[in-house]
Structure 1
Amino acid sequence: MQAENKDEMRDKILEAALKRFTHYGASKTTMNEIADDLRCSKASLYYYFTDKNGMHQAVLERIGESYFQEMENEVKTAKSATKALFQIIEIRRNFVMKFCRLELFKMLVDSKHDIRNQMVAAKKREIEIHAEIIKIGVANGEFKVKNAHKTAETLVMAMMGLRYSVPDHVNPNEDMDDELFNQVLEQQKLLLEIFIKGIKA
């Protein structure tokens, strides 16, 4: 029972932190504010997380998992690989617009090695998801591809690369505003259109 209570308390802390981070921004949120929201002591928060960065990282893990689950559900129900690839961009758009104040890229710069390892694992997972969609496209005759994984890796890396080549986005380690983010998404859609034409059967 005690372990269950600990898990429940940790979940409540993460929910409160996510609410604060999403509304005010992660950097502007203090541990005191999260403790006040939960009506507990700040010491209680430190029992579960060593510092705010650790809590921030746990929040990102939680929302990241729901993000990947949504993409994986798209794979499971996909009838058209082309539509599924475009739907992944919409899932990404909705996710970033919802959680844009979580300061993911700032976290990458300021944090220790752990978050970078998580990002490497996330990139691999995204490549695998794209590879599964491409395999569906090959199976149903949409695509002609020899190596689905390599093709998916190229696509994902190219999509990620667009984020760092947006005009006037001087610092690639900062989060983007809505205008720049939408510009990247439009470029990603154009890239995907060109890419799909290249692998069509």
Structure 2
Amino acid sequence: MHTENKDEMRDKILEAALKRFTHYGAGKTTMNEIADDLHCSKASLYYYFPDKKAMHLAVLEKIAEAYFAEMEKVTTNITSAAQALHNIIDVKKAFISKFCRLEIFKIQKDGPSVFQEGVKKAKQIEIALTTEVIKAGVRTGEFKVDNAEQTADLLVQAIVGLRFSVPDHFSNDEELDEETFELVIEKQKLLVDFFIKGMKA
């Protein structure tokens, strides 16, 4: 089997898994169902992934790549840094809405250390992108900020914190219902507005 064909098959498996996970939820999807969708044996899946958790992690990595590609578009050709900060929230909202059944927070709690490292890396990427937006605002005179990196770090940490502090009852592996999710997004946008006002002062 050529490397290219192996890569193609792996991508097909991930696409099938993503489709199932997105529609039915990762926890309710079986390896047999994914194999049936692909018209292959379950053994074929295990050739590429040792278990469903490994496949789940690979799906999340694939989504993360697409997520940060969209985030990077926000930092390209910025005409308004304030609008770009709001666009980052919109990108986040769109991805979470689309992939809410992937049980990201459950695997974040129970997943292997490699996933925990991935979460840390993802946060650092988000802070770096937010820093670029703030620096762009400083260059154009839209913002007055002494330390863009520190401000970006504080903003991203605060935005993430709202995900856990807004719900009345919450555990790390719990997905938000639609109403609470919308409330979190609303508060995140208000928080961004407060930061923008402070940076324009």
Shorter-chain TM-score tier: over 0.9
- In structure 1, the partner of 2:146 is 146
Structure 1: give runs of 5+ residues left out of the alignment: none
Runs of 4+ more than 4 Å apart:
none
Is 1:40 the counterpart of 2:40? The answer is yes
Residue in 2 that maps onto 1:7? 7
Tell me the equivalent position of 1:159: 159
1:110 aligns with 2:110: yes
C-alpha deviations, 1:130-177, integer Å up to 9, x for none? Answer: 000001000010111111111100000000000111132321331111
What is residue 52 of structure 2 aligned with on the other side? 52
Q: CA–CA distance in 2 between the matches of 1:57 and 1:172? A: 17
Cα deviation per residue 1:22-45 (whole Å; 9 max; x = unaligned)? 000000000000001001111111
Residue 181 of structure 2 is aligned to residue 181 of structure 1: yes
| 1:8 CA drift (Å) | 0.2
Query: What is the distance in 2 between the residues matched to 1:153 and 1:48?
Result: 37
1:77 shift after superposition = 2.5
Equivalence for 1:92: 92
Identity of aligned residues (%): 60
AA at the equivalent of 2:118: Q
Q: Structure 2: how far apart are the matches of 1:178 and 1:64?
A: 22
Matches of 1:14 and 1:187, distance apart in 2: 34
Q: Secondary structure at the match of 1:145?
A: coil
Query: Which residues of structure 2 form unaligned runs of 5+?
Result: none
1:114 Cα deviation from its structure 2 partner: 1.0
Give the TM-score normalised by structure 2.
0.97
How many aligned positions are there?
201
Q: Deviation at 1:109?
A: 1.5
Tell whether the 8 Å contact from 2:71 to 2:129 is kept in structure 1 after alignment. yes
Question: Which residue pairs with 1:195 in the alignment?
Answer: 195
3-state SS in 1 of match to 2:75: helix
Contact preservation (8 Å) 2:106, 2:172: no
Aligned position for 2:168: 168
CA distance in 1 between counterparts of 2:178 and 2:72 reads: 26
TM-score w.r.t. length of structure 1: 0.97
1-structure distance, mates of 2:120, 2:50: 23
Task: Write the distance in 1 (CA, Å) between the matches of 2:126 and 2:78.
Answer: 16
